[in-house]
Amino acid sequence: MSRASSTPQQPPPPHRPTVALLLGLALVFCLSVLSIQSSFTAPRVPSRLEVDAEQVRELSGFQSRVQQCVASRGLGLTADIVDHCKLVLKFPTGTNSTWYNAQFKIFEPLEYRYDVCETILLWEQYRNVTTVLTREYLDVRPDGWLDYAAKRIAQLGAKKCYNRTLCEELLSVLLPAKPPFHPRQFATCAVVGNSGDLLKTEFGREIDAHDAVFRDNEAPVNKKYAKYVGLKRDFRLVVRGAARNMAPILNGSSDEALIIKSLTHKEINAVIKELPNPVYLFQGIVLRRGAKGTGMKSIELALSMCDIVDVYGFTVDPGYTEWTRYFSAPRKGHNPLQGRAYYQLLECLGVVRLHSPMRAQRVEDWSDVPSKEEIKRAHAAAFRLKKHEIGQADELGPFSNCKVWGTVDPDYGPVSGTSDMSETRRNSNYSKWELLPLEKLRNEAQEHHAQMGGVSLYKMDGNKLDDLVCVRHEHSSG
Ligand SMILES: *[C@@H]1O[C@H](CO)[C@@H](O)[C@H](O)[C@H]1NC(C)=O
Ligand SMILES: *[C@@H]1O[C@H](CO)[C@@H](O)[C@H](O)[C@H]1NC(C)=O
Ligand SMILES: *[C@@H]1O[C@H](CO)[C@@H](O)[C@H](O)[C@H]1NC(C)=O
Ligand SMILES: *[C@@H]1O[C@H](CO)[C@@H](O)[C@H](O)[C@H]1NC(C)=O
Ligand SMILES: *[C@@H]1O[C@H](CO)[C@@H](O)[C@H](O)[C@H]1NC(C)=O
């Protein structure tokens, strides 16, 4: 008995009045073109080559802005422009590369090549998507239950969910029916990594001043570290290993929503049932380029709910030679140049704002980062160019990357929380974010919701970078 229907490649049904209006406009336009043509020389519709040339010009201008931004904020990094999309970030000669990759038998390189067009397409999309796995996603995605669900459960003993009942049992404790959080829900968010660098600056109060704070794994939050990392706790992204020991990490705090990055299994489920905190599974693609790990996922998670993402405790300063965490002894030999370069690129694409000891004394001045308007134009240009390259229509809009459409009944299941919430959870006092009704959200979130017609977007994990699964919530007739 399926409560959701899904149809690959089906476009959203256009509103009839809109179609009529468009036809009308088109007619008026044709007539005016005809009348102009009869009296003057014909106005030329720009050819695709001309349109592409225009996008290339736009992007080339943007590349110079990125280059300037890297020069002024990169603490020695420089950007060499290759073309309108590609650039190379370079560390100054003499930079010590101490991190040895045993697999490839090389030290970390001092140059990193990026495609700014792809990067901007990828990260701008996160502002509109849901990054928490939901039941509606599994229902609507064609291989949702059989294939995809199986990938999110460890110890299943099968590559596919041949027994859907069993898979539902294993996931139900983590699976809300619909997205529990909304795009644009928060104005400012702090994503706090675990770097030992955090102890060099007292960012605690600044971090706590954000609307929501995102932390990683076992990062302690207590009086001892309050000066450096603050006390506010809203979201915590955890890997499977950490999820098992969640109770002592939370230390009695029921105020944090937990998002498990990778997989769940029976043992984690048992832990979850003892916690009052909401617990979810992360839903997002595996990044093939750039820095990996929990840090990147935290940024994706934050970006799917926040306008501004301030990043603390990531190793983004030069001269970092040890891998340290603010709450444990240093380990040896780690110099994540690749991460540093990528974070700097993200800052210069308006995705995050970097905060670190070497950047602490600066006035908060972001004027050398491209503006929202510049980023929007660059995004549109990158989008058109890419669609032309692959021979697709270039109509820009929030649904332009929807590969799969599905419809679900809005009354199906709880708005958030799962059908299998434990007693502990049901009786808890957690009431911070996930249960917020639409009218309690900030205006930007409500406006976005209205503009999207209530449709939720999800990344199609494992597939092409920008393919989306789009879920319409059909109004019930009753
Ligand atoms: C690189 O390492 C060497 C030896 O450890 C040191 O003398 C030098 O100052 C380092 N250079 C930089 C730029 O950190
Ligand atoms: C499927 O899993 C359920 C729940 O674990 C179990 O009760 C049922 O016997 C399984 N069905 C088959 C055909 O294995
Ligand atoms: C746990 O919380 C208690 C007070 O609620 C505090 O005294 C203790 O230091 C905390 N433990 C850790 C490991 O943070
Ligand atoms: C995101 O949603 C907004 C509507 O709030 C829309 O204008 C914009 O085009 C969307 N961006 C992307 C990259 O889909
Ligand atoms: C929830 O809050 C109420 C009222 O403040 C309190 O009586 C109750 O003990 C709390 N429940 C839990 C599980 O903390």
Ordered by start, the domain boundaries in the chain are: 50-123+373-380, 126-371+400-473
pLDDT at 31 over 50: no
Query: 343: CA distance to ligand 1 center in Å?
Result: 23
Query: How much is the pTM?
Result: 0.86
Structure confidence by residue, pLDDT tens digits, 64-77: 999 999 999 999 99
Least confident interval from 37-51, 54-68, 203-217, 450-464: 37-51
Average pLDDT score over residue span 358-385: 91
User: Which pLDDT does position 84 carry in this prediction?
Assistant: 96
Residue 220 CB less than 6 A away from ligand 3 = yes
Determine the distance separating the centroid of ligand 5 and the alpha carbon of 225, expressed in angstroms: 28
Question: In whole angstroms, what is the distance from residue 13 CA to residue 3 CA?
Answer: 20
CATH top-level class of 126-371+400-473: alpha beta
The atom of ligand 3 lying closest to the CA of 222 is: 14
Q: Is 222 in the pocket of ligand 3 (CB under 6 A)?
A: yes
Q: Ligand 3: does its nearest atom lie under 6 Å from the Cβ of 251?
A: yes
Taking all residues of the chain, what is their mean pLDDT, rounded to a whole number?
Answer: 83
- The finding on whether 443 has its CB within 6 A of some atom of ligand 3 is no
Is residue 192's pLDDT more than 70? Answer: yes
CA of 454 to the centre of ligand 4 (A): 13
Question: Atom 2 in ligand 5: which residue has the minimum CA distance?
Answer: 429
Mean pLDDT across 78-104: 86
Residue nearest to atom 5 of ligand 4 (CA): 448
- What integer pLDDT is reported at residue 331 of this predicted model? 64
Residue 288 has pLDDT above 70, yes or no: no
Q: Does 8 score more than 70 pLDDT?
A: no
Among all bound ligands, the one having the nearest atom to the CA of 428 is 5
Q: Is 254 exposed, middle or buried (0-12, 13-18, 19+ CB in 10 A)?
A: middle
| Per-residue tokens: 68 | 């300037």
Distance (Å) from CA 420 to ligand 5 centroid = 21
Query: Quick one: which ligand is closest to 233's CA?
Result: 3
> Residue range 396-400: average pLDDT?
87
